[in-house]
Structure formats: C-alpha cells, structure tokens
Structure 1
Amino acid sequence: MTDIPWSTGRWTHDPESVDEAGDSLIVTAREGSDAWRTTSYGFVHDTEHALLAPLAPDSAVEVSFRLDFAAQFDQAGVFLRVDDETWIKAGVEHSDGVDGLGAVVTRGVSDWSLAPVEGWSGRIVTVRASRSGDAVTVRARVEGTPGADDDWRLVRVAPLAPDAEVAAGPFCCAPTRSGLRVEFTAWRVTPADASLHPGD
C-alpha cells in the first residue's frame, strides 16, 4: 500500500478552496458541482471536483473521507475517468434525507445505484476501486468495530477495458448548495484484489 501525495493529482475542475490540515485535505465544493450524463434528468453535468492521477491495470485506488453531509446530493468518494463519456464515481451521497452508498457508472449515459448506510455519519469511510481484467470492482467500509462495520462491502462490479488509460482519485460534489466541506484523510494505491469473492 502506497500513499499518494495530494500534490500528485490534477483537478478536473477547481473547487472553491483546498487546504491541507495535517495529513488531511479539506476541500470546499462549488455550489452546483456534479457529474451526470443524460439519463432520466436529461442534462449533462461535468463540473465535479476530482483530484486524479494515473491508475494502472491490476491495481486499486483507495480514498478515505469523513462523512458529514446535510444537503440533497452532497457526495464524495472515488472517481475513475477514461474520458468525458466514460467514468465512474463511487462513494456516499446524501439523497432524500439519507446517506447512501452507491455508484454512478457512465458509458455514454449514466446509471445510478444507491443503498442506505445508517450510522456512518461522522465516521471515516474508505472507498476502494480495483482494476482487474475487464472490470473494476468497487468496495467500501466504515471505521468502526472490527469484524462488523469494518468489513468491506461490495458496491459495484462494472466493465472497464483492460487497456484503458484511467485516472483516479478523490472527488466531491455539491449539486444543491454552497459550503460543503469534505475532509479527505487518505489516498492510496495498492495491488488489485486477488478475487471478486473472499475465499476464491
């Protein structure tokens, strides 16, 4: 496991502000920032704040952040980008008053999956995206009681070309308000997961 310095990445779109506090990166999102293409809503939003660096095949990226959301569609996690129409964002999003763990996979148009995570607010969430073969596997966990909340949860398995040039790293968006501040506590690269299922 190798920590990635915050200075290594390049922003897709500059946040309102960026500050370092010890080992953490504090990012203030711009109001209206988001990433989405067409499906159901009919619009294309390409204004997310994603701090990206190259992600090689057969490797994984992990992003950790403190979950503290309050407004509709506040979101943070990990972003993987191939091009304007091929990207994945995965993490936690505040939707209809509830924090949900999920992913948006975009291949020309976006889809969205989300499942509620009770009791995660105020804690450190880690999202892991692992490239292996023709897929990326997204998992997440929250700091907590070992053997319970600390276990990795499978979030998504999505197609990703083995030879794709991918950049990945932390992201956040604030589609509906100003003042969202996200504390990112870690950005790491590791070897890809050995298998999709434990024990395989």
Structure 2
Amino acid sequence: MTDIDWNSGAWTTPPARVEITDDGMRVTAVEESDAWRITSYGFIHDTEHALLVTFEQNSAMEVAFHLDFEAQFDQAGIFVKVDDTTWIKTGVERSDGEDSLGAVVTRGMSDWSLSPIPGWHGRLVTIRASRSGDALTIRARVDNEAWRLVRVAPLDPDAAVTAGPMCCAPSRADLTVHFTSWRVVEADESLHPED
C-alpha cells in the first residue's frame, strides 16, 4: 500500500476551493460541475473535479471520503480517464433523495448504474478501482465492512490511464467533500472471492 500525496497530480477542472490538512483533503465543488456524455440528456458535461495521477496496469487505487451528501446528484469517488470520450466515474451519488453506489462508464456515450446504500450516510466510504487484464473492477465498502462489487467495465490494457479522487455538484454551490485517504494497493486477484 502506498499513499499518494494530495499535492500530486493535476485537476481536470479546478474546484472552487481545496484545503489540505493532517486529516485529508477538503474539496469544494463548483456549482453545475459534472461529467456526462450525451445519453438520454443530450448534453456533454466535462467539468468534474478530478485529481489525476498515472494509473498503472495491475494495480488498484482506493479513495476514502466522509459521506454527508444532501442535494440532488452530489457525488464523490474515483475518476478513471483514458481520454475526453473514454472514462469512468464511480462512487456514491445522491439521486432522488437517497445515496447510491454507482458508476458512469463512458465510451463516446455514457451509461449509468446505481444501487441504493441505506445506512451508509454519515460514515466513511472507500471506493476501489482495480485495473487488471482488459477490465476495471470497482468495489466499495463502508467503514471496515466487507467489499461490495459495484461494476466490471472494459478498459484497454495498453491504454495510458490516469485516475484519482473526484467530486461534482451539479445542483448546488456549497458541496465540500472530505477525502481522508488516497492510495495505490495491489490489484484484486480475482473477480470473485474464493470460498
């Protein structure tokens, strides 16, 4: 396990404010920040706040944050980028009054999946994106509970990829996300845990 320095990497879109302290990084999102391409809505949004570093093959990245979302589409997690039309954002998003684990997988056009997580609000959420072979495997957990599978998505094993913590605030101006850790860990050994 290797911690990543909060001062490393580059923002895809600068946030309204960043504060780095001994207990992590607090990021205040710009109102209407988001990442989406075309599907169903017809628009392209590429104003997410993602702090990206190189994401090597056969490794995994973990980001942890306190979950205290209030407004529609408040979101935080990990952003994985190949280029402007090929990327994945994954984490927790507040939609229609409830927090859900989700992923937006984009290859020219976006697709979106969500699964409600009752009981996670006010707790520490960790998102892990594991890059191995031709896939990105996404898992999440709350506190020290068991990992949950969120999504398996195709990812070119030869692509130059960057990734890191992400947040967006499509519907308000005052979302601040407290990220507590950002690290590289070993890639998952298999898709399914052994019995």
Superposition TM-score, scaled by structure 1 size: 0.96
Summarize deviations over 1:46-72 as a string: whole Å, max 9, x none: 000000000100000000000010000
**Separation (CA, whole Å) in 2 of partners of 1:127 and 1:184:** 11
Structure 1: gaps (5+ residues): 145-149
Q: 1:23 Cα deviation (Å)?
A: 3.0
- Structure 1 segments (4+ residues) deviating >6 Å: none
Summarize deviations over 1:134-184 as a string: whole Å, max 9, x none: 00000000005xxxxx10000000000000111000000000111000000
**Separation (CA, whole Å) in 1 of partners of 2:189 and 2:152:** 14
Residues 81-160 of structure 1 aligned to structure 2 (within 5 Å): 81-143=81-143, 150-160=145-155
Match 1:192 to one of 187, 191, 195: 187
Q: 1:21 Cα deviation (Å)?
A: 2.4
Amino acid corresponding to residue 163 of structure 1 in structure 2: D
Amino acid corresponding to residue 84 of structure 2 in structure 1: D
* Equivalent position of 1:147 in the other structure: none
* Equivalent position of 2:75 in the other structure: 75
Pair 1:165 & 2:160 matched:
yes
Amino acid corresponding to residue 25 of structure 2 in structure 1: L
RMSD: 0.8
**Separation (CA, whole Å) in 1 of partners of 2:31 and 2:21:** 23
Pair 1:17 & 2:17 matched:
yes
Superposition TM-score, scaled by structure 2 size: 0.98
Structure 2: gaps (5+ residues): none
Number of residues of Structure 1 aligned to a counterpart in Structure 2: 195
**Separation (CA, whole Å) in 2 of partners of 1:50 and 1:110:** 17
**Separation (CA, whole Å) in 2 of partners of 1:93 and 1:33:** 13
**Separation (CA, whole Å) in 2 of partners of 1:20 and 1:3:** 14
**Separation (CA, whole Å) in 2 of partners of 1:120 and 1:20:** 25
**Separation (CA, whole Å) in 2 of partners of 1:41 and 1:2:** 39
